[in-house]
Chain A
Amino acid sequence: MKDGIIVNGITDETLASYFDGTATADECRLILESLGESDELAEIMSISMAVDKDMALGLSLGQRRVEVIPMQAAAAAMGSSCACSVECEKYILNRRGVEYDERRISELAQEFNWQTELGTELHNIGRHLEASGLRVVRKYKCTIDDIVEALATNEDVIVAVDSTELTGDLAKARQTDILVGEKPDHAVVVLACNKLTDSVTIFDPNSPNPTDTYHIEQFRDAWEDSKTYMVTACERGAKPYAPSPILLDDVVLHSGINGLREAIAENAHEIWARNRMNEGWSYGPQRDDKLKQTPDMVPYAELSELEKNYDRNMAIDTIKLIYKLGYDIVKFHNTPLYAELRERLAHADKQDTCPRCGASMYDGQRYCDRCGEKIAK
């Protein structure tokens, strides 16, 4: 093998330009066509794809799809969990006369990742209130009326806002909306909301004042950046239970996840069937709770589409939830490039021989990898 040539005249330099995206169309085709012929090339490509994946993960850290209220840098440096959301929660606990232990709050924050070095994810606001026995409800798409109603029924209200829009220059804040997109970066406690005077009074952990009052429109602008996200807290049993599942409508899954969906759905059916069987259930043409018979006691493949879809939807919701909570599910071998490689390898049986040296070749190969002969087409 000539120095630096991996296969078919492909050099390290050709590969480097391929990964940089500067290779010519011919070079790209040659590399892809050669994947099936050289283990070395396949290995280099797969390592490089793994690196790409890591880089992609690293890069996406800066633009997480899960919204986060960042910790104050100073507080992070001090090593304590003084995130604004925690300050809001402590404020509420104090107001309600609930005792808490600072150290326990730090421990919980770390143990359950409620607060990380990046801050507090929106769905983790209020966890310390829950841990202290309060009933907490989290909701997007709330209105000023929702706040008024919550306050009127003695609930505590934390909202996520864009702090620049709330406290700063409105014109500047609008500009950052256009430049960096809408993003909540702060949590405050709403103390009063007066629609007659158009004013909202809040406790702001960042403010030197005990309370601050803003015009309702300015508050609304700042609040809208979190899709009007509101967290309410009250005593347990004080209100009827209103479930608030995390919204999953906005999560879009790529089709590569279908195999996983089917696997989760099938396994869920197997677990369900085994549990039912252990409870004495068996197959029957019609559901009968007394005889403990159900038509669904058959292998997943024999279930009706309706039943399969039930399991599938559960599986999809699970996958969406995992994404929404800030995790990626990555099967490295799912990348398009890997599929291409598999395709090439699968067709490696259509072999040919080199007219010059007789080495075996893959159908469509352009260079012999033993003697380097260019094959005329």
Chain B
Amino acid sequence: MSVKEYRPKPLELADVELSDDLMSLAETMARNVHEQWAATRIEQGWRYGEERSDSRKEHPCLVPYDELDESERVYDRNSAISTLKLITRLGYNITKR
């Protein structure tokens, strides 16, 4: 087995700025990512439960986006923001049609 230690290095994106327009796009993306995740889980037989249980297939996040804990929404929102920043950093323009 390789002894070389793997050090994950996500791109540094703190200095990339997003327009207000893209920030609101990120919010819509975060919502949809949650909807998509929830749809998949429910398809696989999961349902809402106060605590996560893999054996009972219950998850506390199986509620509409607006009813999620703010910390969960911050997580979804930040993921969407990083993706948009990454795309911008790679030299692409995200422009409204």
Chain A residues close to B by CB (< 8 Å): 57, 60-61, 64-66, 111-113, 123, 130, 135, 236, 241-246, 260, 263-264, 267-271, 273-274, 277, 283, 297-299, 317-318, 321-322, 325-333
Contacts and interface: CB of A to CB of B under 8 A. Distances in A.
Interface of B: 6, 8-11, 21, 24-25, 27-29, 32, 34-36, 38-39, 42, 48, 62-64, 66-67, 82-84, 86-87, 90-97
B38 A243 contact: yes
Contacts of A243: 34-36, 38-39, 42
Given A264-B87, A329-B87, A297 B27 contact: no
B86 A327 contact: no
A260 B92 contact: yes
A322 B25 contact: yes
Top 7 closest pairs, chain A to chain B, by CB: A273-B8, A243-B38, A245-B35, A243-B39, A274-B8, A245-B36, A270-B10
Nearest to B63: A241
A240 to B, nearest CB: 8
A267 B95 contact: no
B97 A57 contact: yes
B97 A64 contact: yes
A244 B40 CA distance: 11
B83 to A, nearest CB: 6
A353 to B, nearest CB: 37
A325 B35 contact: no
A113 B42 contact: no
Nearest to A58: B97
B86 A267 contact: yes
**Residue among B25, B32, B34 with the highest chain A CB neighbour number at 10 A:** B32
Nearest to A299: B6
B51 to A, nearest CB: 16
A274 B90 CA distance: 21
Given A325-B25, A331-B90, 9 more contacts: A111-B24, A112-B24, A245-B39, A264-B83, A270-B10, A274-B9, A299-B6, A327-B94, A331-B91
B24 A271 contact: no
B96 A327 contact: yes
A321 B32 contact: yes
B90 A263 contact: yes
A130 B66 contact: yes
B29 A263 contact: no
B32 A330 contact: no
Given A299-B6, A318-B83, A65 B97 contact: yes
B61 to A, nearest CB: 10
**Residue among A236, A245, A274, A330 with the highest chain B CB neighbour number at 10 A:** A245
Given A327-B25, A331-B91, A61 B6 contact: no
Nearest to A315: B83
23 contacts: A57-B95, A57-B97, A64-B97, A66-B97, A112-B27, A123-B28, A135-B64, A241-B62, A245-B35, A270-B8, A270-B9, A270-B10, A298-B6, A317-B36, A318-B29, A326-B97, A327-B25, A327-B94, A327-B95, A327-B97, A328-B94, A328-B97, A331-B93
